[in-house]
Homo-oligomer: A and B are copies of this chain.
């Protein structure tokens, strides 16, 4: 009997759900349109020739990348954001992976693309795409996060939606050749300690990468989630630098130079360095520290029922390993609860967590706090500010707070 009761616990709330539906997007069960709209069993749908490459349902038109016009001077050197609040699991579909480029999207014909390796090598080499695909390849899933993700949060909550505060991240299964294999093919001279990776696009993007990382886990990738890279992600070839800031993952990769010291180019001096309170700048802050965010509910994704069983969902990641644990609070940090992790736990990959609770219908202050496999715990924004000040726009991995009101509407807030 007690087992039966426990089995019914959810049902009682389920009935409550039905009476609360007026506030939601769903249509009430007695709406005559339900029958009227459900005519598909009387009509043949479209055939198999109509979608050589398929697209989402027209009802999903709001599930899209969004940009913020005032954020940058020009859309060809700008950002759009992954709609994290519309996604689930850990894979970001290719069509929704945020874009960041500095000279617009180059559209390359892969038959004309070449990758050169030069500098301090035994033999300088030029590879065609087909040459590269003759090297043994690997399949690995990694998050890519822009160093500036959550950058607007340094000076307080400014953007109302996790798409904008945390959407400069995606998580993709790559297929590529270990960079190590190509470097060993060229033969690294004993004084070769650094690489310069160069993209073929108009921005002339270049970044210095230490040899130790290059030989560790970097990939020269040509596929994402099974298919060829998308143009905005560097088609036909990009560098994958697992766990490190996205700017180093050079797209439209055309050259790797081996040198004995870093190059100190624009994107690692004027940009992608962290300006501290005293005017000094942290440099070479490559690793993306552990971070998490609650994606549902969030400002773009309110709770649609009045109370009862409620699912809080979010993502967490670390550039230093896996995420064995995420804590969640619904009362602004008075009580922390361990979230349920669901889905694969890969090294330097996004992790999905859930926290299921019985909402009493009153205001909530929700936060998540990631623990990574090194033992590091995601800090508060104030803890970060006390060390780094508020001048930087990069590497803000502080804890995010959403206020949820009794109507289920969420807002970006800060609490001390």
Chain A interface (Cβ < 8 Å from any Cβ of B):
4, 7-8, 10-11, 13-14, 17-18, 21, 24-27, 29, 33-34, 37-38, 40-60, 63-67, 74-76, 78-80, 86-97, 99-101, 103-112, 114, 123, 125-126, 128-131, 133-141, 173-175, 181, 184-185, 187, 200-202, 204, 223, 225-228, 230-232, 235-236, 252, 254, 304-305, 308-311, 340, 342-344, 346, 352, 354, 356
On chain B, the residues within 8 Å of A29 by CB distance are 114, 126, 128
Tell me, in angstroms, the Cα distance from A96 to B224 when the chains sit together: 13
Residue of B4, B33, B105, B227 near A56 (CB, 8 A) is: B227
A104 x B44 contact (CB < 8 A): yes
Query: If A27-B112, A46-B104 touch, does A226 touch B92 (CB 8 Å cutoff)?
Result: yes
B129 x A201 contact (CB < 8 A): no
Tell me, in angstroms, the Cα distance from A191 to B383 when the chains sit together: 59
On chain B, the residues within 8 Å of A21 by CB distance are 128, 130
Tell me, in angstroms, the Cα distance from A212 to B344 when the chains sit together: 25
B94 x A75 contact (CB < 8 A): no
Query: If A25-B111, A309-B134 touch, does A106 touch B40 (CB 8 Å cutoff)?
Result: yes
B137 x A227 contact (CB < 8 A): no
A356 x B136 contact (CB < 8 A): yes
Query: If A21-B128, A76-B46 touch, does A7 touch B184 (CB 8 Å cutoff)?
Result: yes
Tell me, in angstroms, the Cα distance from A8 to B185 when the chains sit together: 6
B53 x A65 contact (CB < 8 A): yes
10 closest A-B pairs by beta carbon, nearest first, are A45-B104, A47-B75, A139-B343, A52-B64, A40-B106, A26-B128, A88-B175, A45-B105, A89-B139, A48-B80
A55 x B58 contact (CB < 8 A): no
B51 x A232 contact (CB < 8 A): yes
A58 x B107 contact (CB < 8 A): yes
A89 x B226 contact (CB < 8 A): yes
**Shortest Cβ gap from A261 to chain B (Å):** 24
Tell me the number of copies of this protein. 2
Query: If A88-B226, A123-B11, A128-B21 touch, does A44 touch B103 (CB 8 Å cutoff)?
Result: yes
B105 x A46 contact (CB < 8 A): yes
A130 x B78 contact (CB < 8 A): no
B305 x A110 contact (CB < 8 A): no
Query: If A88-B226, A200-B38 touch, does A45 touch B106 (CB 8 Å cutoff)?
Result: yes
A75 x B48 contact (CB < 8 A): yes
On chain B, the residues within 8 Å of A130 by CB distance are 17, 21, 24-26, 304-305
On chain B, the residues within 8 Å of A67 by CB distance are 48-49
On chain B, the residues within 8 Å of A91 by CB distance are 91, 173, 225-226
A-B residue pairs in contact (CB < 8 Å), sample of 5: A26-B128, A27-B112, A41-B202, A46-B105, A57-B235
On chain B, the residues within 8 Å of A108 by CB distance are 40, 57, 59
**Shortest Cβ gap from A140 to chain B (Å):** 8
Tell me, in angstroms, the Cα distance from A123 to B4 when the chains sit together: 13
On chain B, the residues within 8 Å of A47 by CB distance are 74-76, 78, 104-105
On chain B, the residues within 8 Å of A204 by CB distance are 41
Residue of B133, B138, B175, B202 near A45 (CB, 8 A) is: B202
On chain B, the residues within 8 Å of A60 by CB distance are 227-228
B137 x A99 contact (CB < 8 A): no
Residue on B with the closest CB to A8?
B187
On chain B, the residues within 8 Å of A66 by CB distance are 52
6 A-B pairs besides A48-B65, A91-B173 with CB distance below 8 A are A14-B185, A57-B231, A87-B227, A90-B139, A141-B344, A344-B344
A33 x B110 contact (CB < 8 A): no
On chain B, the residues within 8 Å of A343 by CB distance are 138-140, 173
**Shortest Cβ gap from A364 to chain B (Å):** 16
**Shortest Cβ gap from A340 to chain B (Å):** 7
On chain B, the residues within 8 Å of A134 by CB distance are 13-14, 17, 305, 308-311
B99 x A51 contact (CB < 8 A): yes
